[in-house]
Amino acid sequence: MNDPLIDPFARAITYLRLSVTDRCDFRCVYCMSENMTFLPKRDLLTLEELDRLCTSFIGLGVRKLRITGGEPLVRRDIMSFFQGMSRHLQSGALEELTLTTNGSQLHRFAGDLYDAGVRRINISIDTLDEAKFAEITRWGKLVNVLRGIDAALEAGLKVKLNAVALKDFNESELFDLTEFCAARDMDLTFIEVMPMGDLGEEDRVGQYWALSDLQAKLATRYTLTDLPDRTGGPARYLRLEETGQRVGLITPLTHNFCESCNRVRVTCTGEIYTCLGQEGSADLREPLRASEGNDVLENAIRAAIGNKPKGHDFDYSRGNEGGKMSRHMSHTGG
């Protein structure tokens, strides 16, 4: 039971992305339909069960834990979970505890997150234009996110902004976003829009902006240097020599990154997805609740890792959503 988690393709699994809720206070057009039906709260793992689940993964060799949603900071009493996880940072068993957030609640929690041992966070923001922000999030207010960014920086958190690259939406803001981050010593990562869930009338293929094209546009203003940096996730990084900042590119369509995948995702109901772009999952909630000991749970985790596929099949090249997943990103965890 002390052996590390190794998948069938000899990849060590050291990174867990855990969704603590499928709920969110935004309804971003590439992520959710406007009228979402969320899970009954009784179906969610309790905070105590989430703690036990993460502790088991850490015991099996996970060194990085990222908390996601939905929007993780809308989960009631979520800070008690972060405070509980801090013991693994203090013992050295966990190297990093972090989260991805939309930033709307950060003004309330930034200081508490830092006190719990969080040192680096990702904030999702696709535009700096107030009207466009309201359009793409449907319910969000840009001023609240900007306040959250300021609070995070003031608390001492290292901030990275994540922006989904959207054709005919934020193409014109490429340099504005870049310079906004440069002025605040923040990293910036662009993400290709992925075919996750039914968005109703939204045209995801029409939203798709290949990051190869985005990189070429960056190169018209900046000198780009490829970096060997890795932060545990799928991004590859460039340095913009004129500003000295780091820009990440997450390219599940134009540059498949599956050969180095070191991560799995667990939903707020205890489903484990070993690949974001495959439908296969396994249930960890039943083995978690089957006994007070952890042997049954750890065996279930190992069995799931043993079925991890080689990669995903996202593809827009034929004008449709090739490799589309039936579940929304908010279900799997962002």
Each residue's pLDDT tens digit, 83-109: 999 999 999 999 999 999 999 999 999
Q: What is the mean pLDDT of residues 206-219?
A: 90
Residue among 223, 326, 229, 227 at smallest CA distance from 281: 326
Check residues 181 and 257 and name the one with the higher pLDDT. 181
Residue among 227, 122, 221, 117 at smallest CA distance from 178: 221
Q: Is the pLDDT of residue 174 over 60?
A: yes
Q: What is the pLDDT of residue 242?
A: 96
Res. 54 pLDDT band, cuts 50 70 90: very high
CA distance 227 to 205: 30
CA distance 225 to 326: 38
What angle do the packed helices 142-155 and 130-137 form, to 10 degrees? Answer: 100
Q: Is the pLDDT of residue 35 over 60?
A: yes
CA distance 118 to 67: 11
Q: Is the pLDDT of residue 203 over 50?
A: yes
For all residues of the chain together, what is the average pLDDT? 88
Structural tokens at position 163: 């922006």
Q: What is the pLDDT of residue 205?
A: 62
CA distance 157 to 151: 9
What angle do the packed helices 106-115 and 78-91 form, to 10 degrees? Answer: 30
Structural tokens at position 179: 């310079």
Say which CATH class 15-332 falls into: alpha beta
How many percent of the chain have pLDDT more than 70? 86
CA distance 34 to 295: 41
Each residue's pLDDT tens digit, 7-21: 999 999 999 999 999
Q: Is the pLDDT of residue 62 over 80?
A: yes
Q: Is the pLDDT of residue 331 over 70?
A: no
Q: What is the pLDDT of residue 318?
A: 47
Instruction: Point out the least confidently predicted range of 89-98, 161-170, 254-263, 282-291.
Output: 254-263
- Distance from the first to the final alpha carbon of the chain: 30
Q: In sequence order, what are the residues at sequence separation of 6 or more whose Cβ sits closer than 8 angstroms to the Cβ of residue 61?
A: 4, 5, 12, 13, 14
pTM of model > 0.85: yes
Q: What is the pLDDT of residue 199?
A: 47
Q: What is the pLDDT of residue 321?
A: 46
CA distance 262 to 238: 21
What residues are paired with 226 via a beta bridge? 238
Identity of residue 196:
M
| CA geometry: angle 93, 97, 99, nearest 5 deg | 160
| CA geometry: angle 57, 60, 65, nearest 5 deg | 40
Res. 322 pLDDT band, cuts 50 70 90: very low
- Helix-strand-coil split of the chain, %, nearest 5: 35, 20, 45
Q: What is the mean pLDDT of residues 129-133?
A: 96
Q: What is the pLDDT of residue 208?
A: 85
Each residue's pLDDT tens digit, 214-266: 999 999 999 999 999 876 667 899 999 999 999 999 886 555 567 778 999 99
Q: Is the pLDDT of residue 201 over 60?
A: no
Structural tokens at position 120: 């680096």
Res. 164 pLDDT band, cuts 50 70 90: very high
Q: What is the mean pLDDT of residues 75-87?
A: 98
Q: Where are the domains of the chain?
A: 15-332
Residue among 208, 215, 204 at smallest CA distance from 249: 215
